[in-house]
Structure 1
């Protein structure tokens, strides 16, 4: 976030982040010391925050302590988005993305700041671009460098700003991109959460804007090989792009269509088909460029979880997909995901230093430069992923049951009630979906009052309606066996 917003706004975000993540109200002097601020500066920042962000939050002072109140629909990402969209850098980013071709003189005429202040801010923005291996031209003001890096940079900033800015690429219809992404979900057996879908749409809009302006990606020999391999693996030539072929009014080259497709890896998504997970981990037909990512993901997960008997395939998939986004980075690129802001994940099963030690060594051995240059954010992602994954492992094992009744939900609720009365609270929980289109099945057992085909990857009990005493006893035995595992 440094250089993306002003230094004072960055310090305000650090202040807000600390108040968001601190469970207890904090003494003023302790907060000032924590943030390396004087008491006078701290008071000034609090007053400015309360004025600038009055629609979102309010910091109050009582008995020498600070209290943070916020709207229920506001979190730290909301405030980050606000700071970005009201920054000098964001104005430059939007103008250059829209190809406005404004020189320094035009900018000075439209901005209420002195020439020296403008050049200072311009230099700060240039420093940010340099961390992404990009250059800021002055006349006209524009961003130049590797085309993939430019697209990645624009996408990354606009995604971060979206909660506040909304849809800003007005000459591209969001609804068309949404339909295309939904089509992709159905074809690939994947699911984007509502926020991830918007992020993917923003990235697609950036890519399409650059194509419309005549900025095309030039592949070197190595890049061309792995893009061709990805096209073969996903059979992209036969994928239906008709929804977006005409969205920008100019023909889209085939290799650019491939990039629009692969851009799905810029955002997180979930699989809801177990076979898709197994295919992704298969060595038989994998994409050539994915192999080193897969090998690295397997080594990291196997090293950290070597003494744990857990289903870790999904962890490997999450890592592979996360690593693939770095294909969009030719060299080191500064990402905004980490931003030195703290996150409280509890309980912490794996300490960050332990993960960093393993990951650093394995990335170094892999020879993957784009991962090595972004090691900090990768370590943070893995730290969050592994500890979130372990949260439910600390809970007492519950049997997750999906009840299926031929006659519908009323009959299902009756069967659930019968089961609940047979067992102590907390041992059994019920799944609502049998065939989800958002995630993999989340149940250990299916109970149906009518024979059904079982392709769900877990045991199935065919019961009578109402269930017999023997059937309930068999369920009790199943639960006992699961608790012993």
Structure 2
């Protein structure tokens, strides 16, 4: 579990449980050590262990040494526990719906998580405080993500990339093996120079935003550095073919190709 994703557990109880799981994934520790690291009581740690046991029996492995009990958690059990906590955290529910549908009726959040309007308002304020770092903001109602298209895409790129271990943003049109294979064949040095997952999720975010009617507009400064060489023109043809074949997106604006080529 990376720190980027941990920050999106706004609920204090969920945030603590996720941090505890991260600690459980290292060497075995006793309850006193966990309590000290998380700055909570030993009773709170025991309650979290009890929660883990309810979700995944035998998830927590106990060993005894020198009359002390030490605790750890296997990667498989940690994964299952993380999935459960993700399901209980509103922020992931919110961004899953906004990524897919662009807007979300606030009443769905209230009824799904049994929020009062005041609790929801506090949660949204805390979430927006975090989103300031990415120059985007959530606004009511319906709930939408606002900011420049460049900032919105960059935010979703990070969110999808750092949450890729978990099935939060599932896409039924998952043709991306073909996408990566095509780029590897045509641009081996390009693929070798970048993290293939980052390329993949940048493309996924771009086509999703395009399908929702959002196009990107870059400044002259942001367009700088792209040399219109043969490789670039071939790159454009490959992207145009894939977006047309799988997403029925035609005649993409030039800035879309520049954005993807420059930022991949």
TM-score bin, normalised by smaller chain: 0.7 to 0.9
Report SS of the residue matched to 1:89.
Answer: helix
Contact 1:135 1:145 in 2 (8 A): yes
Give the corresponding residue for 1:299.
none
Shift of 1:88: 0.5
Equivalences for residues 78-97 of structure 1 within 5 A: 83-97=85-99
Shift of 1:219: 1.2
Higher share of residues assigned helix: 2
Instruction: Please state if 1:225 is matched with 2:227.
Output: no
Q: CA 1:258–1:178 in 2, change beyond 3 Å: closer, same or farther? A: farther
Give the corresponding residue for 2:35.
32
**Matches of 2:92 and 2:143 in 1, distance apart?**
13
**Where in structure 2 are there 5+ consecutive unaligned residues?**
1-5
Give the corresponding residue for 2:258.
258
Shift of 1:149: 1.5
Contact 1:5 1:83 in 2 (8 A): no
**Matches of 1:56 and 1:202 in 2, distance apart?**
35
Instruction: Please state if 1:143 is matched with 2:148.
Output: no
Q: CA 1:29–1:39 in 2, change beyond 3 Å: closer, same or farther? A: same
Report SS of the residue matched to 2:247.
Answer: coil
Give the corresponding residue for 1:178.
177
**Matches of 2:242 and 2:33 in 1, distance apart?**
56
**Where in structure 1 are there 5+ consecutive unaligned residues?**
265-485
Superimposed CA distance per residue, residues 438-480 of structure 1 (whole angstroms, 9 cap, x where no aligned partner) = xxxxxxxxxxxxxxxxxxxxxxxxxxxxxxxxxxxxxxxxxxx
Instruction: Please state if 1:44 is matched with 2:47.
Output: yes
Report SS of the residue matched to 2:115.
Answer: coil
**Matches of 2:187 and 2:47 in 1, distance apart?**
52
Alignment partner of 2:19 out of 6, 9, 14 = 14
Report SS of the residue matched to 1:68.
Answer: strand
**Matches of 2:133 and 2:92 in 1, distance apart?**
16
Contact 1:155 1:202 in 2 (8 A): yes
Equivalences for residues 300-315 of structure 1 within 5 A: none
Give the corresponding residue for 2:72.
68
Q: CA 1:262–1:58 in 2, change beyond 3 Å: closer, same or farther? A: farther
Higher relative contact order (CA 8 A, sep 6+): 2
Aligned length: 251
**Matches of 1:191 and 1:148 in 2, distance apart?**
22
**Matches of 1:207 and 1:69 in 2, distance apart?**
37
Shift of 1:61: 6.6
- Normalising to structure 1: TM-score of the pair? 0.46
**Matches of 2:13 and 2:112 in 1, distance apart?**
23
- Structure ID, larger Rg: 1
Superimposed CA distance per residue, residues 210-246 of structure 1 (whole angstroms, 9 cap, x where no aligned partner) = 11222121212211223xx2x4367312223212234
Report SS of the residue matched to 2:7.
Answer: coil
Contact 1:80 1:160 in 2 (8 A): no
Equivalences for residues 351-366 of structure 1 within 5 A: none
Report SS of the residue matched to 2:180.
Answer: helix
Report SS of the residue matched to 1:174.
Answer: coil
**Matches of 2:201 and 2:99 in 1, distance apart?**
13
Report SS of the residue matched to 1:45.
Answer: helix
Q: RMSD of the TM alignment (CA)?
A: 3.0
Give the corresponding residue for 2:165.
163
Equivalences for residues 418-429 of structure 1 within 5 A: none
Give the corresponding residue for 1:126.
128
Q: CA 1:55–1:210 in 2, change beyond 3 Å: closer, same or farther? A: farther
Q: CA 1:86–1:154 in 2, change beyond 3 Å: closer, same or farther? A: farther
**Matches of 1:138 and 1:159 in 2, distance apart?**
26
Shift of 1:263: 4.7
Shift of 1:187: 2.0
Contact 1:204 1:263 in 2 (8 A): no
**Matches of 2:132 and 2:177 in 1, distance apart?**
33
Report SS of the residue matched to 1:165.
Answer: coil
**Matches of 1:60 and 1:234 in 2, distance apart?**
61
Superimposed CA distance per residue, residues 65-119 of structure 1 (whole angstroms, 9 cap, x where no aligned partner) = 2221415x5677x866664454200111011112353343453344423222222
Contact 1:135 1:143 in 2 (8 A): yes
Q: CA 1:82–1:236 in 2, change beyond 3 Å: closer, same or farther? A: farther
Contact 1:82 1:164 in 2 (8 A): no
Give the corresponding residue for 1:114.
116
